[in-house]
């Protein structure tokens, strides 16, 4: 029985890929099938509060999973490929599916009445700069008990990674002041348990999703004087530990009321708790301990969401939806920091570190999609209202209200061609961590919180053209322009005594702009004599502009700093690209391939610092086979170029570029070549 509300549907809006399309790749999981879709980039959604704002671009049987911590990727990884009937690439409003500002989504359609299936995988990895092997394993069971369909999964991972390199510190004239050797080792254990259930109670479809996860880690950084250091210096030893626990339960109920109305109720509760410690030991050139800094923190976050969705198809050539959502979010943060110079630990006050932040949110969306032959016009008006209150070290209460109109026009004369225009307003969410102060021992820095931060809002204009050439070929280009209000960045702040230092707080620095182009393409290479080969390319070129709050001059938007690999393409930089080659030799049941990733430099504009991050070219290769014992055996060689990660840090005596340069730090790290062997199968 299907709970989808009947409505008008354009065949041009759906590109269906039956299971036979993926047979060449011998997939074990639904995730592998999704990754082989031509011209599609999987999106697990953003880390936002609320449900509608955080959903990605993957549906299961035409339904967004009622889960947040349990991402689409992890859900797809638990589904055996044998259970997938087809995957629909959806580029317009069909079957009551709301694209939620995405240009396209996919719906993984599962088979009915399938036997119990166990899917498993086991991987071991070796980093040549580290001695121990690491392991990862997962297993999931899909079955039906009476009228209850369920999927249960378990994942365990033990990880070890490292970065090593040098950091040189120069005076403004370029004279070397310090030369340091640095080894950064990260280790930990991660485990997740998931259970997804689905059943019919009368004419109501009930779905329940649960997840429990634990994560323990330790990161140690040794920064010692290099033999070529010009003067005696101190050695620093940093240790950060963390113990995290996550819990989530989500449920939804879906039912048809008459022939034209579909209603759905969603409830989600999540809770995360992290206990962490940070320690810095400094030892002078004679081996004597200079000081010990210690920070002990506890952060608890929770979120409760209630949401109603209605889809009505009683108006000819129209599909109307109405969504309403309420949510409550809470974060409690505690931090105790001490300094011991030899006479015992002394508490160091950190302004804004011990605080409680509460938010009550309300959102609604009323939309309509109007079909006129090959033309599809979608228009909606949404709104959100939130009240954020803060207590503890900082006390404040503020309310925000935003309207979010949206207009999209899609012209699809054939299934092989679509032109889409979108205009709309998007509103970011305040990161609760920006309200809470924290310390960064490794950079001798203090990250202050700001209770007066406002959400960033953006008017988005996008124009895309998509062409599908045969079964595999895709070419899609998107031009975009963003007008941003209340750009979130860093503002100057003075830390009062006893610290008495210049610092910065997250704040709003005015209006900005971002523009560029995104290319997504899949190119079959059979005509070049490479049978069964394909090339997938994703590339982005962009620029941006905002007025710097310190210098008053125009500059690009700030980007993120260190981001763990694989290299993320979604960041504030001039360009980013990923090129993936794969060839499947069907008769030999063998495949091989490689991928390249590169992104432009990212800048952090702090009050008294300018930080630039530069990464080299990431190169990975793989071979895989399904010839023996019904297993998929895969070997990956990762980071073959052992690319360098540079950080250039210009530190000024006071405000950046308005005061003399104090020193220059240049850090160069690599994290080693890695190999991985994976076995996967199902029964």
pLDDT tens string 254-295: 999 988 899 999 999 999 999 999 999 999 888 889 999 999
pLDDT greater at residue 49 or residue 598: 598
Local confidence band at 567 (pLDDT 50, 70, 90 cut-offs): low
- The answer to whether 476 touches 519, Cβ cutoff 8 Å, is yes
pLDDT digits (tens, 9 = 90+) for 484-514: 999 988 877 666 655 556 667 788 899 999 9
* Angle at the Cα of 569 from the Cα atoms of 606 and 67, rounded to 5 degrees: 100
The set of residues, in sequence order, having a beta carbon less than 8 Å from that of 297 and lying 6+ positions away, is 274, 275, 276, 277, 278, 333, 334, 335, 336, 353, 438
pLDDT digits (tens, 9 = 90+) for 348-361: 888 778 889 899 99
Local confidence band at 634 (pLDDT 50, 70, 90 cut-offs): very high
What is the arithmetic mean of pLDDT over 146-160? 91
What is the arithmetic mean of pLDDT over 237-251? 94
Local confidence band at 128 (pLDDT 50, 70, 90 cut-offs): confident
pLDDT of residue 3: 41
Q: Using omega within 30 degrees of 0 as the cis cutoff, is the peptide bond preceding 36 cis? A: no
Least confident of 1-15, 246-260, 397-411, 607-621: 1-15
Q: What is the DSSP string of 415-474?
A: TTEEEEEEEEEEE----GGGGS-EEEGGGTEEE---TT----EEEEEEEEEEEEETTTEE
Strands (E), 258-353: 261-283, 289-312, 318-340, 346-347
pLDDT of residue 73: 86
- pLDDT of residue 5 exceeding 80, the answer is no
pLDDT of residue 630: 85
| 425: nearest Cα among 372, 357, 485 | 485
pLDDT of residue 45: 72
pLDDT of residue 593: 97
Q: What is the DSSP string of 516-529?
A: EEEEEEEEE-GGGT
User: Looking at the DSSP assignment, which residues form a beta bridge with residue 187?
Assistant: 160, 218
- Residue 371 CA to its chain's centroid (Å): 34
Local confidence band at 565 (pLDDT 50, 70, 90 cut-offs): very low
Helix (H, G, I), strand (E, B) or coil at 25: helix
Name the fold adopted by 11-682: Maltoporin; Chain A (2.40.170)
Give the DSSP H/E element, type plus range, for residue 647. strand 645-652
- Rounded to whole angstroms, the Cα distance separating 121 from 36 reads 19
Is the full-model pTM beyond 0.75? yes
Cα R_g (the chain), whole angstroms: 27
- Rounded to whole angstroms, the Cα distance separating 44 from 68 reads 9
- pLDDT of residue 162 exceeding 50, the answer is yes
- Residue 114 CA to its chain's centroid (Å): 33
Cα 614 to Cα 164, 597, 666, 673: the distances in Å are: 16, 13, 11, 19
What percent of the chain stands above pLDDT 70?
A: 92
Strands 375-392 and 396-414: antiparallel
- pLDDT of residue 30 exceeding 60, the answer is yes
- Rounded to whole angstroms, the Cα distance separating 655 from 634 reads 52
pLDDT digits (tens, 9 = 90+) for 57-68: 888 888 888 887
pLDDT of residue 352: 76
For the ranges 48-52, 187-191, 283-287, the one whose mean pLDDT is highest: 187-191
pLDDT digits (tens, 9 = 90+) for 305-328: 999 999 998 888 888 999 999 999
Q: What is the DSSP string of 184-248?
A: EEEEEEEEEEEEEEEEEETTEEEEEEEEEEEEEEEEEEEEEE-TT-SS---EEEEEEEEEEEEEE
Neighbours of 123 (CB within 10 A): 17
Cα 549 to Cα 53, 311, 340, 543, 557: the distances in Å are: 30, 46, 37, 19, 12
pLDDT digits (tens, 9 = 90+) for 447-483: 666 667 788 899 999 999 999 988 899 999 999 999 9
| 44: nearest Cα among 53, 33, 56, 34 | 56
What is the arithmetic mean of pLDDT over 392-421? 90
Average predicted confidence (pLDDT) for the chain: 88
Residues in the chain: 683
The set of residues, in sequence order, having a beta carbon less than 8 Å from that of 357 and lying 6+ positions away, is 330, 331, 333, 388, 389, 390, 432, 435, 436
């Amino acid at each position: 029985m299907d709970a989808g509300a009947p409505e008008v549907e354009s065949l041009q809006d759906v590109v269906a890929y039956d299971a036979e399309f993926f047979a060449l790749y011998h997939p074990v999981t639904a995730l592998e099938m999704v990754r082989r879709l031509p011209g599609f980039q999987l999106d697990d959604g953003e880390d936002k509060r609320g449900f509608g704002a955080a959903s990605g671009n993957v549906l299961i049987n035409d339904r967004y999973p009622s889960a947040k911590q349990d991402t689409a990727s992890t859900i797809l990884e638990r589904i055996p490929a044998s259970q997938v009937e087809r995957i629909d690439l959806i580029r317009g409003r069909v079957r009551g599916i709301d694209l939620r500002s995405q240009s396209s989504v996919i719906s993984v359609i599962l088979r009915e009445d399938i036997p119990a299936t166990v899917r498993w995988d086991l991987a071991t990895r070796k980093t040549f700069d580290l001695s121990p092997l690491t392991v990862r394993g997962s297993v999931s069971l899909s079955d039906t008990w009476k009228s209850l369909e369920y999927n249960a999964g378990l994942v365990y991972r033990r990880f070890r990674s490292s970065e090593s390199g040098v950091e040189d510190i120069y005076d403004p004239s370029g004279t070397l002041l310090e030369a340091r050797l640095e080894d950064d080792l990260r280790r930990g254990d991660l485990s997740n348990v998931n259970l997804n259930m689905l059943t019919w109670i009368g004419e109501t479809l009930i779905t329940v999703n649960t997840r429990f996860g634990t994560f323990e880690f330790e990161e140690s950084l040794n920064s010692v004087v290099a033999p070529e250091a010009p003067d005696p210096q101190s050695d620093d030893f940093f240790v950060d530990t963390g113990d995290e626990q996550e819990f989530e339960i989500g449920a939804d109920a879906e039912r048809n009321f008459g022939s034209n109305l579909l209603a759905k109720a969603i409830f989600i509760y999540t809770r995360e708790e992290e206990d962490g410690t940070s320690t810095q030991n400094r030892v002078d050139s004679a081996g004597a301990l200079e000081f010990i800094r210690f920070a002990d923190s506890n952060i608890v976050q929770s979120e409760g969401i209630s949401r109603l969705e209605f889809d009505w198809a009683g108006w000819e050539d129209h599909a109307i939806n109405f969504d309403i959502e309420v949510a409550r979010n809470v974060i409690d943060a505690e931090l105790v920091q001490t300094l011991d110079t030899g006479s015992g630990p002394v508490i160091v006050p950190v302004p804004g570190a011990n605080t409680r932040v509460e938010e009550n949110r309300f959102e609604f969306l009323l939309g309509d999609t109007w079909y006129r032959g090959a033309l599809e016009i979608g228009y909606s008006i949404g709104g959100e209202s939130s009240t954020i209150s803060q207590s503890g070290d900082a006390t404040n209460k503020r309310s925000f209200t935003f309207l979010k109109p949206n207009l999209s026009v899609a012209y699809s004369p054939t299934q092989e061609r679509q032109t889409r225009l979108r205009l709309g307003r998007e509103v970011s969410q305040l990161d609760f961590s920006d309200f809470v102060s924290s310390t960064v021992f490794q950079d001798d820095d203090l990250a202050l919180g700001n209770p007066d931060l406002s959400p960033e809002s953006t008017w988005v204009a996008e124009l895309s053209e998509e062409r599908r050439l045969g079964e595999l070929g895709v070419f899609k280009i998107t031009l975009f322009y963003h007008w941003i209000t209340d750009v979130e960045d860093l503002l100057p702040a003075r830390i009062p005594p006893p610290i008495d230092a210049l610092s910065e707080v997250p704040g709003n620095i005015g209006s900005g702009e971002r523009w560029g182009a995104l290319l997504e393409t899949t190119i079959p290479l059979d005509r070049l004599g490479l049978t069964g080969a394909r090339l997938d390319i994703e590339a982005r070129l962009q620029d941006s502009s905002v007025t710097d709050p310190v210098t008053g001059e125009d500059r690009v938007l700030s980007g993120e700093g260190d981001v763990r690999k694989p290299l993320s393409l979604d960041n504030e930089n001039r360009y980013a690209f990923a090129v993936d080659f794969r060839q499947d030799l069907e008769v030999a049941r063998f495949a091989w391939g490689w991928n390249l990733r590169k992104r432009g430099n990212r800048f952090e504009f702090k009050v008294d610092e300018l930080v630039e991050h530069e990464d080299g070219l990431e190169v990975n290769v793989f071979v895989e086979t399904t010839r023996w014992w019904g297993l998929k055996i895969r070997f990956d060689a990762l980071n073959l170029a052992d690319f360098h990660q540079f950080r250039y840090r210009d530190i000024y005596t006071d405000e950046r570029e308005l005061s003399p340069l104090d020193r220059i730090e240049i850090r160069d790290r690599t994290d080693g070549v890695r190999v991985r062997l994976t076995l996967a199968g199902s029964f």
